[in-house]
Amino acid sequence: MNRKPLILVCNDDGVYSPGIKALANAMSTIGNVHLVAPDIEQSGVGHGITIRRPLRMHPTKLNHLEKNVTAYRVDGTPTDCVVMGVQVLGRPDLVVSGINFGPNLGFDLTHSGTFACAIEGTHLGIPSIAFSLGFSDDMDFTHGASYAAKLAARVIAHGLPRLTVLNVNFPVGKPKGVRVTVQGTHHYEDNVEKRLDPAGQPYYWVGGTPSVDEEPSSDYAAVYSGFVSVTPLLLDFTHRTYLETVREFTPPLEG
């Protein structure tokens, strides 16, 4: 392309997260950047959208942003930010999300707002990538951000197939290399802790205990062995090889 690419950067950790700043500045080395993010943290909201009230989008001054990054905050969900960024600010050549504060592996993708941004971009027909970094005390986004810019340049040049989205996870520390992986079975066993408020009324904290994924080709295995994990995912959920079986056992309406 002759003009500089336009890249939309979103997240679910909110506009003030250091992860989105690192990602936006990295993307500014390969294109012009619109940073559009929720005004408060929205981790775990998945692909939710706001349709029962108006949305507001405000230009936002953030410290240490490169000159070709323009930042906005939206009083909505991560997906709202992608919709607003694309429909109001202009259609980008790439949507990236993150870098999330914490990994998004296996079944985390079903509730991840970070991944939801990439789903939305993909549904809008724009190549999209979600980026996340494993938890550590210092949350150093530098290695991830520089690799994100390299991968993003490749994706802008080559595109992605229809309904295909990339989910990328960075390990803690300097990565040993890059592995292309399958989505693992990593998930959380939900647990609910009941407590009592000062009035004696119960309230609940929903949490989860993370599972271990033994599959060696999984996103989980790559990240926990110190590698960058790149997983291609298909947003067509139909289980095609199972269709015939379902046709066989599905009863007719009458008879």
Q: Which residue is nearest to Mn ion (CB)?
A: 43
Please name every residue paired with 210 in a beta bridge, in sequence order, or none if there are none. Answer: 188
Q: Give least dist CB 20 to Mn ion, A.
A: 10
Q: Which is nearer to Mn ion, 118 or 156 (CB)?
A: 118
Shortest separation between residue 14's beta carbon and Mn ion, angstroms: 8
Note whether 95 and 106 are within 8 A (CB).
no
Least distance CB 210 / Mn ion (angstroms): 15
Could you give the C-alpha distances from 47 to 30, 80, 172, in angstroms and in order? 28, 9, 27
Question: What is the smallest separation between the CB atom of 157 and Mn ion, expressed in angstroms?
Answer: 28
Interface positions, 122-151, toward Mn ion (CB under 5 A): none
Say if CB 85 and CB 70 are below 8 A apart: no
Choice from 7, 8, 13, 118 touching Mn ion (CB under 5 A): 13
DSSP secondary structure letters along 104-134:
--GGGGGT-HHHHHHHHHHHTT--EEEEEE-
Angle at CA of residue 67, ends 66 and 73, nearest 5°? 75
Q: Which span sits near Mn ion by CB under 5 A: 21-29, 40-48, 69-77, 162-170?
A: 40-48
How many chain residues interact with Mn ion (CB under 5 A)? 4
C-beta closer to Mn ion: residue 10 or 156 = 10
> Contact between 43 and Mn ion (CB under 5 A)?
yes
Cα separations in angstroms, 68 against 6, 61, 243? 10, 13, 49
Determine if 100 is a binding residue for Mn ion (CB under 5 A). Answer: yes
Q: Which stretch binds Mn ion (CB under 5 A): 99-107, 119-127, 150-158, 235-243?
A: 99-107
**SS3 of 22, please?**
helix
12 lies in the binding site for Mn ion (CB under 5 A): yes
Stretch that binds Mn ion, among 6-14, 142-150, 203-211, 241-249 (CB under 5 A): 6-14
Sign of CA dihedral 205, 211, 217, 223: positive
The amino acid present at 233, given as its one-letter code, is L
* List of residues contacting Mn ion (CB under 5 A): 12-13, 43, 100
